Structure 1
Amino acid sequence: MYDAPVPTPPSTTTLQQWLLRLLSIGACLLFIGCASPSGPRQGGGPGPVIGGTSTLTAEQSNSIAIHALGLVGTPYRYGGNTPDGGFDCSGLIGYVYLNSVGESPPRTVARMTAFGSPVAVSELRTGDLVLFGSSTPSHAGIYVGGGRFVHAPSTGGVVRLDRLDGVYWSRQTVQARRP
């Protein structure tokens, strides 16, 4: 009989290190993708920017997106404005902006319509706000690039990442604001 060496499986520590490296690379790629401008939209060119100057630097906008993405999975709580206590949509926005760039937007979605400058939805940039509702918006989120936004949806839900062109959100009236 031949005694061939039996390969040994990698140790748990080696496997964990490999998985950690893979997850780190994946997270970096996700954040780079979120910070990249989206490609041109089909069905026409971009709409005009209406007062679309921003006081935020690209680094600040990316910080807002990364911070918002880091809160995905946090429970929804009406009136909530902390990770430990949960978030409602305006509480999430206020927490992210204050902790990312030191700026505190209005506490209610209705008042966010006067925050920053209005921009065309086709001109959204990372860190912009998206407001949903017809005459007076009733829901808001943070645009993170690639047609996606982070928001705290409703009772029983959690902070999540959704697409503006998703079945539900594409049927809603959307306004965009740039701080």
Structure 2
Amino acid sequence: MSSRGERIVGLAEGWIGTPYRHQGAARGVGCDCIGLIRGVWRELYGSDPGPVAAYAPDWAERSGEDRLIEAALRLFGPALPVTGAEPGDLLLFRWRPDCAAKHTGILAGPEHFIHAYEQAAVIRSALVPSWKRRIAAVHRFPEVAQPNTTK
């Protein structure tokens, strides 16, 4: 696992146990799956990835747009092959091939990922076949800029 991947997984693990709250993005207080990613991004880069418009729980079904995929492309860059996924990578899931991606999590190891689960909280789940077949895209968090220490 890369040091960046280790750091991202460590940050995500710090959110485990955070209650599920639709549109939340506060560690220990409440978040949904998008809020978990926003919170890890904020901790990693020092700022929020950008404003998020209000969204209903059924936003993916109603909008007809693949907004989660579009946001991932804008913030993370091109998708990677699923076979190249590494711990710390962003996973996007779609429930059916004809639906927009609606769920996201962070790969924590070859067989686990961390996500905000609506019926529970932020948890580490096994990446069982029923989850694996729903992976719509894999993205890698961008490199963290190193501070310039030369004078």
TM-score, normalised relative to structure 1: 0.59
Find 1:112's aligned residue among 55, 68, 71: 71
Where structure 1 has 5 or more consecutive residues not aligned to the other structure, the ranges are 1-34, 36-57
2:18 paired with 1:59: no
* Residues 4-153 of structure 1 mapped to structure 2, 5 A cutoff: 35=1, 58-102=2-46, 104-105=48-49, 107=52, 109-114=68-73, 115-116=75-76, 117-133=78-94, 134=97, 135-153=99-117
The one-letter amino acid paired with 2:126 is R
Residue 125 (structure 1) shift: 1.4
Q: Residues 64 and 101 of structure 1 are in contact (CA less than 8 Å); yes or no, is this contact kept in structure 2?
A: no
Residue 110 (structure 1) shift: 4.5
The one-letter amino acid paired with 1:91 is G
Residue 152 (structure 1) shift: 0.3
Residue 175 (structure 1) shift: 1.2
Q: Residues 76 and 159 of structure 1 are in contact (CA less than 8 Å); yes or no, is this contact kept in structure 2?
A: yes
- Listed one character per residue, the Cα deviations across residues 70-99 of structure 1 (whole Å, up to 9, x for unaligned) are 211111000010024311001001101210
Q: Residues 18 and 27 of structure 2 are in contact (CA less than 8 Å); yes or no, is this contact kept in structure 1?
A: yes
Change (3 A) 1:103 1:132: farther
Match of 1:178 in 2: 140
Q: Residues 17 and 28 of structure 2 are in contact (CA less than 8 Å); yes or no, is this contact kept in structure 1?
A: no
Counterpart CA distance in 2 for 1:137 and 1:102 is 27
* Alignment RMSD (CA, Å): 2.2
The one-letter amino acid paired with 1:147 is E
Match of 1:49 in 2: none
Counterpart CA distance in 2 for 1:173 and 1:59 is 24
- Listed one character per residue, the Cα deviations across residues 8-63 of structure 1 (whole Å, up to 9, x for unaligned) are xxxxxxxxxxxxxxxxxxxxxxxxxxx4xxxxxxxxxxxxxxxxxxxxxx333211
